[in-house]
Amino acid sequence: MLLNIDPAAPGPLTPGIRPRRRQVGALFGFLAASWLVSLLGSLPIRMNSTWYAAAVKAPWTPPGWMFSAAWLVLYASMAVAAWLVWRQQLFPRRDALRVYVSLLVLNLAWPMMFFGLYPAMGSAALWLALAAIAAHAVLAVFAVLHFGPINTAAGVLMLPYVSWVLFSTSLNLYAALNN
């Protein structure tokens, strides 16, 4: 038997299980929080994307639409992973959920640094953004390490996120070195 699976039958009268309505509401809350961060993080990209269009980019940079599509899916999987952790009551979850909130903060901070500060600070903004995304990558690994023992599926759901953040870090490094 897996240690992170609650063997109790679901239902509102079972100790340790939240009512279904509350679980669905929490899932929508996690999704809304993630997508709100996505929306807010996209504002500096939309407002300051002209310099990026002319910037020297890594040869492995995907087309712009792929970033939007990938982040939409990654924010959803991150929200579902956090929800799976939240609903598990057999293990302490506070630290894991703090990691999730910290990831949302870094997800919001990076585009503000990379896109928002570049017009004023130039390449220094790209190096600052690199430091932020490197911290983001480390924190994403911590998320896997915190989520996995609580809920295996949650840990696995975070793996594509880690991969994408590492990939994005390589793009940020290339931009910082070449712009």
HSE, side-chain direction, 13 A CA sphere, residue 78: 31
Give 155's contacts (C-beta < 8 A, 6+ positions apart).
Answer: 81, 144, 145, 147, 148, 149
Range name among 12-26, 43-57, 140-154, 163-177 with the lowest pLDDT average? 12-26
Name residue 59's amino acid: P
pLDDT on residue 107: 94
Q: Is the pLDDT of residue 169 over 70?
A: yes
Name residue 117's amino acid: L
Query: Average pLDDT of 167-179?
Result: 97
pLDDT band (50, 70, 90) for residue 1: very low
pLDDT band (50, 70, 90) for residue 9: very low
Please give the angle made by the CA atoms of 145, 148 and 150, to the nearest 5 degrees: 115
- Residue-wise pLDDT tens digits, 122-154: 999 999 999 999 999 999 999 999 999 999 999
pLDDT on residue 4: 53
| Residue-by-residue DSSP string for 91-105 | S--HHHHHHHHHHHH
HSE, side-chain direction, 13 A CA sphere, residue 149: 9
Percent of the chain residues past pLDDT 90, beyond the cut: 74
Check if the beta carbon of residue 27 is closer than 8 Å to that of residue 82.
no
Residue 47, classified by CB atoms within 10 Å of its CB into exposed (0-12), middle (13-18) or buried (19+), is exposed
pTM of the predicted protein model: 0.84
Check if the beta carbon of residue 78 is closer than 8 Å to that of residue 144.
no
Query: Average pLDDT of 151-175?
Result: 97
* C-alpha 170 chain-centroid distance: 17
From the CB of residue 24, how many other CB atoms can be counted at a distance below 10 Å?
Answer: 11
pLDDT on residue 48: 83
Q: What rounded mean pLDDT belongs to the chain?
A: 89
Q: Is the pLDDT of residue 3 over 70?
A: no
pLDDT band (50, 70, 90) for residue 13: very low
- Residue-wise pLDDT tens digits, 77-97: 999 999 999 998 878 899 999
Query: Average pLDDT of 66-85?
Result: 95
